[in-house]
């Protein structure tokens, strides 16, 4: 695999049982590249290890005044120098290629996992954790992958040099053969505490990153309430914690670096001292002593690679565990139906809540609790919240969505979150999504009441065409208001035209008049299609074919909106934002109003039994029962 061939056609299916199994899988996927790097490493290290031989020959030839041997040693130096340059260049190229291709493979795996889980990813794994894995952890794993080949070449060459020294000069060779393993293992006791400190630094850095991302996302709200200084102080404290953790980690790694310098220096001093005594005794020649000294000096190079692989492994293992944990998240889609089978259709049923959305009808769901509504929307989309805990799956036409291949399930059921994401690009690119082709973009924009949005985009067009479809929308739609973003997101969902469309509070940021027109447009454009709207807006509820009321996550009542208003006090309390005692009095008032047409119901007195309505993003949507009936 070459860098120019990236991205990988297929990153593969990783073994995420443990971090170690993930590292083994990653190594096996690029075995060819690792063997290539190992071969070039042997050329490079072998040439470096052989260089003391012509150096010793040259020194001895100069002592003996042998010109022929001196010329021969010079020629060998030139050849070995060329091999060192070639092997070093190709080793670096092959090792870096392994690094980049491994990181690219993991990035593709993470991107695929994010696409598979969608918004459920950040519900299962913190955003800061995902950022830390996709940056720092992949870098550490890539470092380990890149250093494996150099370590292998260094290990093979070091063993060969030590064996040659033992054969050539048993006394010095034995000293070197015993000293090198001791030096290689000397730093191992220091690596676990160093790795723990590095992990602690990473954790506090991840928390600081998550705090920063939350602060940036809520900057507009912070400015509105004057909370910038509060969050600035929190981030300042978090960054100082990161600094202290980094200093503690750096102290340990500086100690390891000191050990790496001191111990090899002591070995080299011992070899020189002992070798000098042997030379003075006439046991070894001067040229042989120079050769042995050069060979020992070479062995310090493999020692650095031994320590590097130990450090890289100490970092890579916890990083691999975290990466494997993220990649192990899955949407329980067994895909037990055939891939070429037509997508299922029919009634949408959630056995957890007892909700059934009839096919081809507009069903509204009132939960009263936004978290309950969010979990229900996630389940209806096939993202089984609590998968693995024995919860039964959602069915579409009697077929469990877990048994449907992921692509088919997504084509059949589309869920629009409460806070949908608008990516940067032109409006035309925003609406260029996979769809049935039955609905044009103009029809979807009209149904979503985006006329004023199109006018504003046409005026903001950088070219003079005045075409809003060519106007650029900034990241997350920050150049638009909340209501405009919400309506564009609704239009995008309508263009997709799925068999089942699930909308979670699709009109919470628009005014009552626009909301009423959206309700009419939604009902008209989705005729014959299954639509589920999670909302407490009387305007949307009145347009629904049927309304399901959930209490503590279970369906407790199903009927048209007006019938539930008169017959179910708890439903009335949620929809009108009133307490149940006050709702009971409204029910009595409505009964009187029905007996005397044209009369207005008496307003509830301002007592503790009738508290002020709960503040809402859209105050105009808080309607009394009589107003809801009148609007309908």
436 domain residue, yes or no: no
Nearest to 433 by CA among 417, 422, 447: 422
User: How far apart (Å, rounded) are the C-alpha atoms in residues 196 and 249?
Assistant: 8
Q: Are 84 and 212 contained in the same domain?
A: yes
107 domain residue, yes or no: yes
Q: Are 287 and 387 contained in the same domain?
A: no
Interior angle at CA 119, CA 373 and CA 617, nearest 5: 50
Q: Are 165 and 105 contained in the same domain?
A: yes
Q: What is the pLDDT, as a whole number, of residue 408? A: 78
Three-state DSSP state, 486? helix
Contacts of 5 (CB under 8 A, 6+ apart): none
Beta carbons of 551 and 354 less than 8 angstroms apart: no
Q: What is the pLDDT of residues 323-351, one digit of tens each?
A: 998 888 875 544 455 555 666 788 999 99
Q: Are 320 and 405 contained in the same domain?
A: no
Annotate 153-181 with three-state secondary structure: HHHHHHHHHHHHHHHHCHHHHHHHHHHHH
Phi, psi at 425, each rounded to 5°: 140, -175
User: Which CATH number is 359's domain given?
Assistant: 3.40.50.300
1 domain residue, yes or no: no
Whole domain around residue 95: which residue ranges? 12-327
Q: Are 322 and 408 contained in the same domain?
A: no
256 domain residue, yes or no: yes
Q: What is the pLDDT, as a whole number, of residue 592? A: 39
Q: What is the pLDDT of residues 215-229, one digit of tens each?
A: 666 666 656 666 667
User: Which CATH number is 65's domain given?
Assistant: 1.20.1560.10
Q: Are 383 and 271 contained in the same domain?
A: no
2 domain residue, yes or no: no
Burial state string for 365-398 with b = 16 or more CB within 10 A and e = fewer than 16: bbbbeeebbbbbbbbbbbbbbebeeeeebbbbee
Beta carbons of 406 and 333 less than 8 angstroms apart: yes
What's the whole-model pTM score?
A: 0.56
Nearest to 436 by CA among 568, 345, 572: 345
Q: Are 295 and 415 contained in the same domain?
A: no
* Low-confidence residues of the chain: pLDDT under 50: 333-335, 385-389, 579-632
Q: Are 221 and 81 contained in the same domain?
A: yes
Task: State how far the alpha carbon of 287 is from the alpha carbons of 52, 75, 283, 294, in Å.
Answer: 10, 17, 12, 11
- In this structure, what token pair is assigned to residue 421? 């994401």
Q: What is the pLDDT, as a whole number, of residue 514? A: 92
Q: Which of 542, 559, 576 is the last residue of a domain?
A: 559
540 domain residue, yes or no: yes
Q: Are 251 and 306 contained in the same domain?
A: yes
Q: Which of 529, 559, 589 is the last residue of a domain?
A: 559
453 domain residue, yes or no: no
Q: Are 240 and 295 contained in the same domain?
A: yes
How many domains would you assign to the chain? 2
Q: Which of 538, 559, 580 is the last residue of a domain?
A: 559
Q: Are 388 and 299 contained in the same domain?
A: no
Q: How far apart are the first and last CA of the chain?
A: 65
Q: Are 115 and 188 contained in the same domain?
A: yes
Beta carbons of 120 and 383 less than 8 angstroms apart: yes
Nearest to 56 by CA among 269, 294, 272, 298: 294
166 domain residue, yes or no: yes
Phi, psi at 392, each rounded to 5°: -70, 150
């Amino acid at each position: 695999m070459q860098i120019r061939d990236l991205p990988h056609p297929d990153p593969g299916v990783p073994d995420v049982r443990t971090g170690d199994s993930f590292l083994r899988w990653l190594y096996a996927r690029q075995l060819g590249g690792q063997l290539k790097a190992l071969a070039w490493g042997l050329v490079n290290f072998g040439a470096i290890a052989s260089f003391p031989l012509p150096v010793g020959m040259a020194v001895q030839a100069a002592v003996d005044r042998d010109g022929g041997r001196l010329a021969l040693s010079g020629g060998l130096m030139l050849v070995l120098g060329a091999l060192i340059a070639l092997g070093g260049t190709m080793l670096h190229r092959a090792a870096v290629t392994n690094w980049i291709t491994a990181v690219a493979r993991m990035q593709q795996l993470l991107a695929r996992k994010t696409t598979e889980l969608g918004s459920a990813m950040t519900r299962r794994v913190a955003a800061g954790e995902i950022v830390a894995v996709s940056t720092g952890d992949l870098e550490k794993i890539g470092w380990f992958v890149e250093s494996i080949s150099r370590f292998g070449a260094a290990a093979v060459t070091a063993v060969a040099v030590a064996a040659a020294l033992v054969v050539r000069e048993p006394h010095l060779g034995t000293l070197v053969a015993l000293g090198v393993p001791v030096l290689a293992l000397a730093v191992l006791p220091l690596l676990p505490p160093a790795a723990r400190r590095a992990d602690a630094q990473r954790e506090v850095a991840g928390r600081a990153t998550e705090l920063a991302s939350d602060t940036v996302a809520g900057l507009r709200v912070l400015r509105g309430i004057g909370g910038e200084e509060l969050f600035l102080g929190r981030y300042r404290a978090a960054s100082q914690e990161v600094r202290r953790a980094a200093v503690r980690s750096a102290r340990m790694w500086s100690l390891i670096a000191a050990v790496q310098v001191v111990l090899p220096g002591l070995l080299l001093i011992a070899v020189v001292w002992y070798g000098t005594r042997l030379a003075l005794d006439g046991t070894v020649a001067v040229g042989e002593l120079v050769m042995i000294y050069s060979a020992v000096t070479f062995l310090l190079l493999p020692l650095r690679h031994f320590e590097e692989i130990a450090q890289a492994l100490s970092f890579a293992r916890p990083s691999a565990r975290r990466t494997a944990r993220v990649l192990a998240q899955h949407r329980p889609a067994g895909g037990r139906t055939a891939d070429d089978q037509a997508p299922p259709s029919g009634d949408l049923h959630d056995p957890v809540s007892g909700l059934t959305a009839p096919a081809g009808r507009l069903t509204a769901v009132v939960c009263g609790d936004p978290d309950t509504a969010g979990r229900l929307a996630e389940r209806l989309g096939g993202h089984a919240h609590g998968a693995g805990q024995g919860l039964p799956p959602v069915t579409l036409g009697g077929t469990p969505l877990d048994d449907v291949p992921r692509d088919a399930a997504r084509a059949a059921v589309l869920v629009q979150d409460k806070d949908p994401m608008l990516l940067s690009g032109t409006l035309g690119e925003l609406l260029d999504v996979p769809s049935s082709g039955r609905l044009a973009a103009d029809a979807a924009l009209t149904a979503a009441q985006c006329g004023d949005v199109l006018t504003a985009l046409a005026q903001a067009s950088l070219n003079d065409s005045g075409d809003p479809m060519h106007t650029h929308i900034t990241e997350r739609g920050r150049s638009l208001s909340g209501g405009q973003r919400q309506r564009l997101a609704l239009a995008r969902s309508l263009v997709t035209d799925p068999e089942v469309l699930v909308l979670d509070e699709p009109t919470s940021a628009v005014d009552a008049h626009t909301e009423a027109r959206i309700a009419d447009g939604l009902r008209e454009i989705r005729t014959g299609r299954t639509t589920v709207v999670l909302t407490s807006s009387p305007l949307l509820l009145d347009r629904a074919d049927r309304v399901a009321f959930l209490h503590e996550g279970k369906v407790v009542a199903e009927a048209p909106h007006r019938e539930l208003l008169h017959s179910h006090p708890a439903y009335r309390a949620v929809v009108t934002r009133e307490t149940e005692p006050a709702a009971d009095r409204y029910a009595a008032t409505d009964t009187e109003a029905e007996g005397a047409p044209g009369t207005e119901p008496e307003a509830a007195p301002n007592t503790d039994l009738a508290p002020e309505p709960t503040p809402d993003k859209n105050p105009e949507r808080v309607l009394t029962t009589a107003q809801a009936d009148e609007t309908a």
